[in-house]
Amino acid sequence: MALLEVDTLQTHFRTPDGVNRAVDGVSFHVERGETLAIVGESGCGKSVTAMSILRLIPEPPGKSAGAIRFGGRDLLKLSEREMRRIRGDEISMIFQEPMTSLNPVLKVGRQIGESLRLHQGLGRHQAEAQAVDMLKLVGIPEPKQRAGEYPHQLSGGMRQRVMIAMALACSPKLLIADEPTTALDVTIQAQILDLMRDLKERVGAAILLITHDLGVVAEVADRVVVMYAGRKVEEAPVRRLFAKPRHPYTRGLLGAVPRLGSSLEDRAGRLAEIPGMVPSLKTRIEGCVFAGRCPEVQDVCRRHAPGLEEKAPGHVAACHLSLRDQAAAA
């Protein structure tokens, strides 16, 4: 049994203009000790999926349905009291923007110690000492001094390390990292990724990585889920996805990645663009969600939504074209 199993998750928001289907029938699983990346452009439903797993979607206007099984328990059926025991203890999350996630009026040592006191029953002095140890573990210099400082006194990279220290304080089984390297310079990004890899090996936690950066995915992920307009369109082991993507949207994302050595004069090295606009999530789409932007669209794509089909071991995609190619090869 997988550590986390998300089965046909639907998270919709009721708005004055209609129902916004932010996540519409997404399924995936995370094995113990592995790193699963969820990728896609802004607005595709990545962060809403992560927030739904932790039951952080306010109801109303949001509403989640389906099943989210963690260690055999369906999180959507637990009481709020039971969920509070799980958040920060068995499942932790690194939020996208540490400056808005950290409390500006509390010292960082106290914020890390709070989860230790809540979930592990440590006293104040024990929690503060453990917080210093966690800051040292994530590579913050002079950890005892930093524990007594406020978030605004730290750099962006240090604040992100504080978030990681806070998330790992109780040795969670699953770590959800929502854009952990956003707004950081490339040097700090590399340090954060190295830190996450190192801590994963030490603690043994599984990681659910939410990102739009395919370079980060190639470096740290074991498997990849590609989302578009609230739906999963492809899933594969990371090497197979980069070597042979089976969905036109995935190929478009990979074509838009800058390549070293290319120039404006080099036509072959120019970045590809995905034309058109993302469809409104407030309108139910009958056919393929990517049909309006797909360079290989056919009539069947607009009439019928393709189901997820296995193209290779562990590699699934929702595309009529890849189905036809598979039939021709057979």
pLDDT tens for the 330 residues of the chain, in order: 789 999 999 999 998 888 899 999 999 999 988 999 999 888 888 999 999 999 999 888 889 999 999 988 999 999 999 998 898 888 988 887 777 788 899 999 998 888 888 887 888 888 888 889 888 888 888 989 999 999 999 887 888 888 888 888 888 889 998 888 776 677 777 777 887 787 777 777 899 999 888 888 888 899 999 999 999 999 999 999 999 999 999 998 888 777 666 555 555 556 677 888 888 888 888 889 998 888 888 888 888 888 888 888 889 999 987 655 544 444
pTM of the model: 0.87
Confidence (pLDDT) at 276:
83
Per-residue model confidence (pLDDT) at position 329: 42
Q: How far apart are CA 241 and CA 230, in angstroms?
A: 20
Taking CA atoms, 63 is separated from 9, 20, 56, 158, 267, in Å, by 10, 10, 11, 35, 47
Tokens at residue 151, please? 């978030």
Query: What is the token pair recorded at 138?
Result: 């994530």
The alpha carbon dihedral of 299, 300, 304, 307 has a sign of negative
Residue 296 amino acid letter: E
Q: What pLDDT is recorded for position 326?
A: 47
Of all residues in the chain, what percent are helix, strand and coil, respectively (each to 5)? 40, 25, 40
Whether domain 4-221 has CATH 3.40.50.300: the reply is yes
Predicted local confidence at residue 48, as pLDDT: 92
